[in-house]
Structure formats: structure tokens, C-alpha cells
Amino acid sequence: MKAAVLHEVGGVPRYEDFPDPVAGDGEVIIDVKAVAVENVDKAIAAGTHYAGEKYVGRLPVIPAFDGIGALPDGTLVGFGNIRLPYGALAEKTVVPQGSYKPVPDGIDPAVVTVMASAITAMSVRTAAGFVPGETVLVQGATGVAGRLAVKVARLLGAGRIVATGRDDAQLREVRAVGADTVINTAVSDEALAQAYLDARGDGYDVVLDYLWGRPSEILLRALVPRSFAFGKPTRVVQIGESAGTELALSASSLRTSGVEVYGAAKGFDAQTIDEVYQQVVTWTRSGELTFDVEKVPLSDIETAWRRTDLKGRRLVVMP
């Protein structure tokens, strides 16, 4: 079969022949139909992700660990828990029996691959307890996941949405999909802190943070009250780290600001994930929630892997 094969950590997958997977006891072969290439896939291939050793500890390996494919009987499913080295970026892969779930009818498989990002955006409710009418700040709103977070917050009834990014043209697009106010983070620390203060209105109720690093450090500093008054409670949901894996957090940023920090997985369990998934499916079928994807054939993986021009579209490989 043809596959995208990674031969070295930090390298680029190459389109080449690879032995077909053979199903063992309790396993099934999947004919792969669509795979979203996400930041986590590239981080694992680069050796910079904390869980990467599991996937690149032995080479060569085929990257990506989930996707959409067909069972031997033709049933279209979303699959995961692949058996290495057979990652998802190939014509076929192999997974344990039951490591898949039928996908909803009437939705493009390429779109289904991106729906997980919308489910993560629902952590605004599952982790932070969002209620309609609240103000939401989306840190890192120009990427695929951030744009979806803006759309999800609007669909859930946010009273006001503030969005950040580094590119003015993309921020204009984010405003078009639902943000009320945008902030360019590519400014000095002092200017960014003031921008957060100017845009907060009555205060940020929930922050969906896809950035971490410098912008979030400045935000948390800016939320510290300038007097003995107590700050308005702000629930920060930590989701991504595209601006840095760490930040310096002063004691006052927690002691007096009213800030509460949660991980995106807080509140998720099997039942909640299913409920959230069904909501996303309903919005998708109705056209209320849309997804921007860039489809490429598997044969173009080397060029596609290096692309930096997607600007809010998710790269989806179609074997």
C-alpha cells in the first residue's frame, strides 16, 4: 500500500510503499478515507510532544492516530487506537475490534475529521460552566480550533466575544464569523496588557486559551486589580500552547484576580462527550456550524506537511 512514512524524528513523512497491515486476533483492517493533520501530529513527529515517545520510539512509522475510514463491510467509521507502526496517513490501517464508531450520515468525511476541534471548544461549557450572556475571550482565535471556538461560543449564546491573534487580516475574518472585538497580540507587552483591559468591558467570564505562553501571562497580569477591590471571577480553560508551554504566574494573579484555571478535559466523561458530539452534529447538519478544510491527496503529503498558508483551514489528507 501507499503511505506517508516518517523515517526520522523531526523529518517530513514521505509518500512511499509500505507493507500492508495484517489483522491479528481481535483486530480489523480499516480502509482510510480522510485524516486531519493537526498540530499534535506534527509535534509528535518532531519529537516535541510529551506523549510522542509512544509514537516515534520506533521508526519508520506512519503518522497520525485517528481518522475516518471504512470497515470491511463498507460501514463508514471514525477510528482510533491504531496499532503502530500503522498510523492513519495510509491507504489502510489496523485497529482493535471496537476502536471505531459509525460516523453521522450526510456529513462529508473530511468535515467529520475536524469535528473534534468543535468538541474541544465545547469545554467553554463542560469545563467552565458557561451560561448564555457571558463574555468569552478566545486566545488564539485565528487558527482552526480558535475560529471554531468563536463560532461555538456564539451558538451557545455568548453575550460578547473577544478574540486574539497575530494577523490583522485573519482577525478581520474572525470578526466576520462571530467575534465582537479583536486584539492583535503582536505588540509590545505594555500595549497588549492595555488592549486586554480596554476590551474587557465588565470583565471576562470565560477565557478559552489556545495560546498559553507570553499572551496569557500578560493577560493574567492585566487581570490583577489595581486597588483593594476583588476582581470579577474569570474561568480560564487551558486548551493549547501554540505561544509557549510555560508562563510565569504571580501569586497575586490568583489571590486577588478571581481567576480560576481549568484543563480542557475537566467535566468530560463518556456521557458528556456523547452529548456534546450530538450537539455538534446537529449544528453541522443544519449548517449553523461550518468547517473550513483544505483537502489534499496522500501523494502530496511531503508538500502539504510543510504548508504554512492554510490560515484557519484544517489540512485533511484523502488517501
List, for residues 74-116, the tens digit of each pLDDT value. Answer: 999 999 999 999 999 999 999 999 999 999 989 999 999 999 8
Residue 230: predicted pLDDT: 64
Fold of 117-263: Quinone Oxidoreductase; Chain A, domain 1 (3.90.180)
Find the mean pLDDT for residues 271-293: 95
Between 1-10, 188-197, 305-314, the lowest mean confidence (pLDDT) is in: 305-314
Residue 234: predicted pLDDT: 96
Residue 262's pLDDT band (cuts 50, 70, 90):
very high
169-191 residue pLDDT tens: 999 999 999 999 999 999 999 99
What stretch(es) of the chain map to CATH 3.90.180.10? 2-114+291-318, 117-263
Q: How far apart are CA 16 and CA 244, in angstroms?
A: 34
* CA-derived radius of gyration, the chain: 21
Closest CA to 211 of 175, 235, 247, 187: 247
Residue position matching grid coordinates 480550533: 145
Residue position matching grid coordinates 506523549: 51
Closest CA to 208 of 312, 115, 122: 122
Residue 255: predicted pLDDT: 84
255: how many CB neighbours lie within 10 A of its CB? 11
Residue 258's pLDDT band (cuts 50, 70, 90):
confident
Residue 228: predicted pLDDT: 64
Residue 89: predicted pLDDT: 98
Fold of 2-114+291-318: Quinone Oxidoreductase; Chain A, domain 1 (3.90.180)
Residue 229's pLDDT band (cuts 50, 70, 90):
low
Cell of 92: 489502510
Residue 231's pLDDT band (cuts 50, 70, 90):
low
| Angle in degrees, 0-180, between the axes of helices 168-176 and 144-155, rounded to the nearest 10 | 30
Closest CA to 133 of 194, 203, 220: 203
Residue 62's pLDDT band (cuts 50, 70, 90):
very high
pTM metric for this prediction: 0.90
Find the mean pLDDT for residues 13-24: 97
